[in-house]
Amino acid sequence: MSTRPLAGLRVADFSWFGAGPIGAQTLGTFGAEVVRVESETRVDSLRVVQPFALEPDGSYKTGYNVSGYFNNYNAAKFSLQLNLNLPRGQQLAYRLIERSDVFITNFTPRVIEKWNLRYEQIAAVNPRVVAAYAPMQGLVGPHRDFLGFGAVLTPVTGISHMSGFPDRPPVGVGTNYPDYVVNPGHTVTAILAALRYRNRTGKGQLIELPQIESVVNVLGTAVLDYLANGANPGRGGNRSSVAAPHGVYRCQDDPSSVNSPDRWLAVACPGDAEWAALCEALGHPEAVSDPRFATFADRKANEDALDALVGQWTAPLRAEDAMTALQAHGVPAGVVQNAQDLLDRDPHMRARGYYRYLDHPETGRAAYDGPAFVLSETPGELTAPAPLLGQHTMEVCERILGLSTDEVADLLAEGVLL
């Protein structure tokens, strides 16, 4: 196999929860050695969040190493348990940073200052380090120490205001979307850009990535619409200003779907041609000449009746069959899939081998998200499962930090290493 593109780089991962660790894992997937700094004094809460692995009797396993949530975002990392509240712990942190190419954190500035990990402090130790700070609201400003996660960012950035139905409260996107996609993606891009600069100049630099500003990017034209037209986009449910029909439509139930028998089909018809093709594919070509639906403007004006009609057509059909028929006629359509579909039943995902199965010492064989993109010459790879808490403390101390066995023993006794 070809050498992965980031082989030879080392990442000091001082992050937690999702946004930071996912970005660091992406770097690791493409070859970087990632050392995840943790502490049982305040364990990363993802280590104790469901879903948990199961015992043979069907009960949940317990402990810090059995969360599928944590494990999925920390594959192939080295776990170092280090008490950053102690001066000697901070000295060891500097030692790790001195021997690393990238530093990444998403803690608030208050915590970073408490641990003496401000950029000017770590740059004094390693001027070549690329240091990525991704607190929720940035390093400066009146809200710099505000706490929050994806569930807070979604409303703060305006996404929740536009998500849901007009007559109901905002609902957001149902998951911590910023943590999983937007913030880590922007962080990795910024790190790669800074590494390119370092390759040319030999100089590291500070990356400040306020998560709130990163996430505002996904609002699309909403802010521009207000700027240009004074319009303040609200909630439109599943409807779109540029397509009709546009929504999700009930299909035939599937009793084999675990805990989720109801099936739905998402459909989008941006123009008259797609509408005509939908009518043909679903066996109702006469609807094209219905004066209520003859043009896009007509369909928007009669959208309640349009949605009811399409829903009647799809109700007796298998969602997968309806999708296949519509796609064959050039109509954008897709099954509203659940977790079981993605992992076990989607033939396309299975054929591409997106999910990777790794053997973990406590959870057993489990699925991990694969690389988010494929490089033809230097593909990414998940080389190992997520680490047990502190699994590599001794190895990191000896191989990377250059400590002797006696020194490690003393630091363990002092509570610097945990």
Q: Check if the beta carbon of residue 37 is closer than 8 Å to that of residue 96.
A: yes
Side-chain-side CA neighbours of residue 310 (13 Å): 30
Pairing between β-strand 130-133 and β-strand 205-208 as defined by DSSP bridges: parallel
The helix, strand and coil proportions of the chain, stated in percent and rounded to the nearest 5, come to: 40, 15, 45
Check 44, 179, 307, 341 and give the catalytic one: 179
| CB-count exposure of residue 3 (10 Å: 0-12, 13-18, 19+) | exposed
Q: Count CB atoms within 10 A of the CB of residue 386.
A: 29
Give the Cα separation of 302 and 289 in Å (integer).
14
In Å, the largest CA–CA distance within the chain is: 86
For CA atoms 27, 30, 34, 39, the dihedral sign is positive
End-to-end CA distance of the chain: 37
Give the Cα separation of 70 and 254 in Å (integer).
31
Q: Is 290 a catalytic residue?
A: no
Q: Cα torsion for 22, 25, 26, 30, to the nearest 10°?
A: 180
Side-chain-side CA neighbours of residue 232 (13 Å): 2
| Closest of 381, 389, 362 to residue 78, by C-alpha | 389
Coil, helix or strand for 374? coil
Amino acid identity of residue 270, one-letter, is P
Alpha helices in 209-355 (DSSP H): 211-216, 222-229, 272-281, 296-301, 303-314, 319-328, 339-340, 347-352
For CA atoms 208, 213, 218, 224, the dihedral sign is negative
For CA atoms 205, 211, 212, 218, the dihedral sign is positive
- State the DSSP string of 59-107: PBP-STT-BHHHHHTSTTPEEEEB-TTSHHHHHHHHHHHHT-SEEEE-S
Residues forming the active site: 179
